[in-house]
Amino acid sequence: MADMNATIPQPSDDAQRGSAGARPGAAAQSPPPAVEIVIPVYNERHVLEGSVRKLREQMTREFTFPFVITVADNASTDGTLELARELARELPELDVLHLESKGRGRALRAAWSRSDADVLAYMDVDLSTDLSALEELLEPLLEGRGDIAVGSRLAAGAQVTRGLKREVISRGYNVLVRMLLGVGFSDAQCGFKAGRREVIQPLLAEIEDEAWFFDTELLYLAQRNKLAIHEVPVRWVEDPDSRVDILATAREDLRGLMRLRAAARLRERSPHSDAAAPDPLDVRQSRSERPGVGALNTQSFLDPPRPASPH
């Protein structure tokens, strides 16, 4: 699949993709993919090819639905973009999106905004999350059972290998998220998420962050809109070569939490608060009347409703 070269106006004027807004290499009559998995990258040439090939092999082996893997390059300077374009010429399921600025949230916004896939997903390029969790992440969404699915390193059944500093910071951050924002999900920052396009795309315009806090803000808005958030316990191994500055990221995340908390307090004090008026972000009508709002456990999410017993 060829890479993207023409500039698109939405959502950012620095995102570059294929001509005329069509997905490169796809025939006009081809149906849209069922799933698009975005891999945001910044200077990841050393790991990109192995991860893309491993993910493509897993998707091809485990699933029969059409899919696209999009490498979203955030202004890399180490040849990551050139390698991605080379791989795209070889692998028909691979797409390349180039942005002139850094930011994981910026990359996801650009890729998800222009996607026509039924389910939008993303994962970190180091594949720290074991790909065996893909089935639980994707299939219920494709069947319409739930709105958003997230990998969780803190849910019951998760298996995590990481250093003490990262463990303490991660657990502490997620405790703060629940305390300050009153959310039900356990792990806001695991780089393994998916959602149905019809509920994800309306939320993108309301997310302010363009970096690591994007994930937390997305899930917070989803819960405010009473969307069903399903947590998938994952096997997760810390990448010893991770380029993430944990302390700097934590500081930025704390600023994001304070911003959302302040906005929530303003809504509480307003006579036109959420309790008194419909939320203008409500992308799902009458969701509050349905069960399964908030974070769901794996069993209730994967098992379809059973018919009532005859009287």
Out of 95, 124, 215, 253, pick the active-site residue: 215
- The neighbouring-strand residues paired with 243 are none
Q: How far is CA 71 from CA 80, 87, 88, 159, 293, in A?
A: 10, 10, 9, 27, 32
Spatial CB neighbours of 56, under 8 Å, sequence gap ≥ 6: 69, 91, 93, 94
CA angle at residue 84 from 196 to 136, to 5 degrees? 30
Identify the helix (H) or strand (E) that includes residue 39.
Answer: strand 35-41
With a CB cutoff of 8 Å and minimum separation 6, the contacts of 238 are 128, 161, 162, 163, 166
Contact 209, 254 (CB under 8 A): no
**78 flagged as catalytic:** no
Angle formed at CA 8 by CA 5 and CA 14, multiple of 5 degrees: 80
The amino acid sitting at 168 is V
Which residue type does 70 have? T
The catalytic residues are 215
